[in-house]
Amino acid sequence: MIARLTRILDHWIFERWSMSHEQLAAYRICYAGFMLFIVGVHRYAWLERMHDGFFHPPHPSIASLAFSGFPPGGVLDVVEGLIILSLFGILFGYRTRLFSILFTLAMVFGNSFAYSLGKINHDFIVQVVPLVMAFSSWGETWSLDARKRRLAPGGRGVTWPVTLMSVIMGLAYFSAGLPKLLGGWLHLDSMAVRGKLFTLYHVQGRQDYLAPFFIKIDQQWFWEFMDWFTVAWELGFIIAIFNPRVFRFFVGITVVFTLMVLLMLNVWAIILYPLFLLFAMPLIPCHSARVQGFMDRVPGWVIPLAAVIYWAGMCMRFPVSLLRIDYWLTGIEFVPLLVNLAAVGVMIWVISLCVRGKQAT
C-alpha cells in the first residue's frame, strides 16, 4: 500500500507536468521578456523619501529583522540594478540558476520595504517563479549556458518545480477564498462583489471600461452568483492541483475572470500572466534550432550593457516598458486591457491545439 502511494506521489510530482527542454526555455524567455518590457521593473528609490514613521514592515521580513527605518537610496538603487541584471541573465540564459535565485531574493528584499507601508500586493507569487524554476532545466537550452553542453532536441526536462508552482498557486488562491467563505460571502444578502464595485467606483473613482454598465445592474441574483462563483473558483484550486487538465481549466477560468475584474472593477493583474503561461507551455510546440544559433552569437558583455541601458532609462524616467509607455502617452490603462485580451486569445489557441491533437489521434 505504501509503495503504491509512493509511486502515485512520484508520478504526480515528477511526471504529470511533462515538458521538453525547449518548452521550459521558451517559458524562461517569455517570463523575463514580459517582466522587462511589458510590466517593467519595480522602482524602490522613492522609498528613501518616506518618513520612518510610516515604516511598519510585516513580520517576519528582511526589513523588520535588519532595519529600523527605510534604507538610503544607494541601497535601493543596488537592489534595482540586481533585479534588472538578473532578468537579463534569465532572458539570455547566462548563469541561469544563479540569476534566477538572485532575482527572487532581490525582489523579496525590495518588497519587504515597499510592503512596510501597509499594502501587500498579490504579485509576490510571480516573483517566486524564478526561485522555484531555478531547479528545473529552463536554462539547459536556448541559452548562453548551453554553449558548454548540447542537449538532444526534444529531451524531457526537469519539471518537478512546475508541480511545486501549481501547489503554490493553488494554496495562494485557496487562502484568498477561505476568508471570503468565513466572512459571509455566501450569505444570500451579502452582495460582496457589488459592495467592492461601489467602493472602487464612487470612492476611488475607477469608472473606466465597463464599470458604468455594471454599476447600474440591480439584480440581486446576479451579484450573489458572482459571490458564490468567486468563492467556489478560489477554493477549488486546492483540489485542481492534483490533475493538470483540471488545473489548466481553472487557470483558463482565471484568465477570463482577470479580464472581467479589469472591465468591471478597473483592477488589473497582468503581472500574473507569466505564471498562468507556465501551465499552458506543455501544450505549446517549441522546436527551433535558430534560437540556440542566435544565443551562440550573443557575447556575454551584452547582458551587463543591456542592464545598464535599461537602468539608465528608468532613472531618466524614459518609458522602458509597454506599461510605462502607456502611462507616458495617454495616462489611460490601455496595455492591461490589451494584455488581458491577448491572454484570452492565447487560451483559445491552446484549446484549439488540444482539440486538433485529439482529432489527429
DSSP for 105-132, written as a single string: HHHHHHHHHHGGGS---TTHHHHTHHHH
pLDDT digits (tens, 9 = 90+) for 125-138: 899 999 999 999 99
DSSP annotation of 72: P
- Cell of residue 278, nine digits: 507556465
The pLDDT > 70 percentage for the chain reads: 94
Report CA-CA distances (Å) from 231 to 30, 174, 182, 184, 220.
31, 9, 10, 10, 17
Query: SS3 of 20, please?
Result: strand
DSSP annotation of 300: T
Among the listed residues 221, 204, 222, the one whose alpha carbon sits nearest the alpha carbon of residue 213: 222
Residue 150 has pLDDT above 90, yes or no: no
φ, ψ of residue 73 to 5 degrees: the values are -60, -30
pLDDT digits (tens, 9 = 90+) for 194-229: 999 999 999 988 888 899 999 999 999 999 999 999
DSSP annotation of 270: G
- Signed CA dihedral, 309, 314, 316, 317: sign only: positive
Written as one letter, the residue type at 196 is: K
pLDDT digits (tens, 9 = 90+) for 304-336: 999 999 998 888 877 778 776 666 555 556 777
Taking the C-alpha atoms of residue 153 and residue 89, their distance in angstroms, rounded to an integer, is 23
User: In this predicted structure, what is the pLDDT of residue 360?
Assistant: 44
Report CA-CA distances (Å) from 125 to 19, 63, 89, 324, 352.
21, 19, 20, 22, 28
Hey, what long-range contacts does 239-243 have (CB within 8 A, 24 or more apart)?
A: 240/170, 241/166, 241/167, 241/169, 241/170, 242/12, 243/16
Higher-pLDDT residue of 147 and 279 is: 279
Taking the C-alpha atoms of residue 63 and residue 44, their distance in angstroms, rounded to an integer, is 13
pLDDT digits (tens, 9 = 90+) for 249-286: 999 999 999 999 999 999 888 889 999 999 999 988 88
DSSP annotation of 287: -
Hey, what long-range contacts does 299-307 have (CB within 8 A, 24 or more apart)?
A: 300/94, 300/144, 302/92, 303/85, 303/88, 303/89, 303/92, 303/94, 304/85, 304/88, 306/88, 307/81, 307/84, 307/85, 307/88
Taking the C-alpha atoms of residue 237 and residue 231, their distance in angstroms, rounded to an integer, is 10
pLDDT winner (highest mean) among 38-42, 176-180, 265-269, 339-343: 176-180
Measured in whole angstroms, the distance separating CA 56 from the mean position of its chain's CA atoms is: 26
| H helix and E strand count, the chain | 17, 0
The pLDDT > 90 percentage for the chain reads: 50
Taking the C-alpha atoms of residue 267 and residue 258, their distance in angstroms, rounded to an integer, is 9
Residue 356 has pLDDT above 70, yes or no: no
- Over 228-268, what HEC string results? HHHHHHHHHHHHHCCCHHHHHHHHHHHHHHHHHHHHHHCCC
Domain positions in the chain are 2-360
φ, ψ of residue 273 to 5 degrees: the values are -65, -35
Q: What is the mean pLDDT of the chain?
A: 87
